[in-house]
Every structure is written in C-alpha cells, then in structure tokens.
Amino acid sequence: MTKSLVVFGAGPGVGRAIARRYGKAGYDVVLIARRRTPLEEFAAVLTADGSTAHVLTADLSETASIPALATRIRTLVGDPDVVYYAPSPGDPDFTSAASLTSARLHAVLPLALDTLIAVVAEFLPAMLARGDGAILTAQGAAAVRGRPHMSGWGPLLAAQRNYLQSLAAEVADQGVIVGQLHIGARITGTPFDDRYRASGRPENAFPAAEPADLAELLWTMHADRKPQELLVPSDW
C-alpha cells in the first residue's frame, strides 16, 4: 500500500520542500493551505516530477473544522503515515514581552497549538494501531530560547514544543516518532528572505538555510528515528 504525507501549511519554504522529499520517496502527498491557486500550481510541479499530489484548502486557525478536514483527507489517502504541521500566521507578529497582551496571544493560539492538538487527536490513534508513523514540525527557534522583542508568536511555539516533547516521550516505544526542527535562519525562497535581502542588510548578518536541506533533516530524523529535536543553526 502506498504511504502518505499530509502537509499542514504547504507554503513556500520547508512545507513544499518536504512534500518534494516524500513525494520523491513514493509517498502520496496531500497539500493543505488557505489559497487554492498556489497549491494547485505546486501540485502540478509534483505531478510532473512523478509524485501523486492532492490539494485541500482550509483555514487552519479554525480548529473546529479539523474533524471535517480529517474526513476529506481520509477520503483521499486514508489515515496518513506522516503528518507535517507547520502553518504560521502571515505576519508572526513578534513583539516585546513588555507590551504583549493576552488578546494578542490568543489571536494566534489556535494556529500554534489548538489545531495541532486536534490534528494529532485525529491521526495518532491509527499510527499507534499500525505501530508506525511520524509527526513532524518545523518552527522558529524562538521556541527554544526567548529573545528580546520576539514575544507573541515565540511563547506559543515554546508551548507547542513542550507539548510535542511530552508526546514524543509517550509514543516513542510504540513505533511513532515525533520530530521537531527549530530554525533560527532565514529560509531561502520565502517572502521573508526576499524582504530581508531587499532591505540592504548584510546577508551574512543572518544565516540562510536552504528548504531542501531542512526537509532532508526531517526526512533523516524520521528514517533514523533520532534525534527528536534539531536546532538550525546549532548555536542559535
């Protein structure tokens, strides 16, 4: 039976790179994001490369929609073997800790944590029943270490990390790997990287990372089943 990967947050960067990596390995790929046209264009690229790709549109900040979305996914590929979850707000809305408000935090809480928990609740049981599966994420390195003026989205990533660490420990001996990649670099080919380079700031002042390299780290983490967390660059 063909294995499958679902990409929750298939925007430019790691989401598309991991779809390419798993598609190349023979996985059916389901791409999920809010806008259909970019998804269909990328699905066509995957298909031209010999992969099988499906497109679903969804607003992942609407946690209550996840059960219905899971049903649509199962209609296409059954219960997925691999879930990749890494949506982010259009603007991560970093702010200083001193000016952070509860309302600002709760505005992005569903995307960072609530929907992830709902996705895991849908698909983890089948992985445990099979004794095989993977839940992978790639998020900012602010999850690992708080820094000035990087509050807001950062604390929520830290909460996500804590949840996934606990989940990883609970399912490690049941055939399911939970892998996290924390990125403290600008990812080439993304809108953020374009803005950074256009700003005129020295490119070597902020390390760059290639999406394909980051996807390969996640692939290797899954294939080797270790380590469960990686920080890029390691000295961030």
DSSP 56-105: EE--TT-GGGHHHHHHHHHHHHSS-SEEEE----SS---B-GGG--HHHH
Instruction: Write down all domains in the chain, each with its CATH number in brackets.
Output: 4-232 (3.40.50.720)
Q: Over pLDDT 90: what percentage of the chain?
A: 70
Considering the entire predicted model, what is its pTM? 0.94
> Which two three-digit tokens encode residue 26?
């023979």
**pLDDT for position 190:** 77
Q: Which residues of the chain have pLDDT under 50?
A: none
Rg (CA), the chain: 17
**pLDDT for position 202:** 73
**pLDDT for position 25:** 97
Q: Which residues contact 143 (CB under 8 A, 6 or more apart)?
A: 154, 157, 158, 160, 161, 180, 182
**pLDDT for position 176:** 97
**pLDDT for position 92:** 62
**pLDDT for position 227:** 81
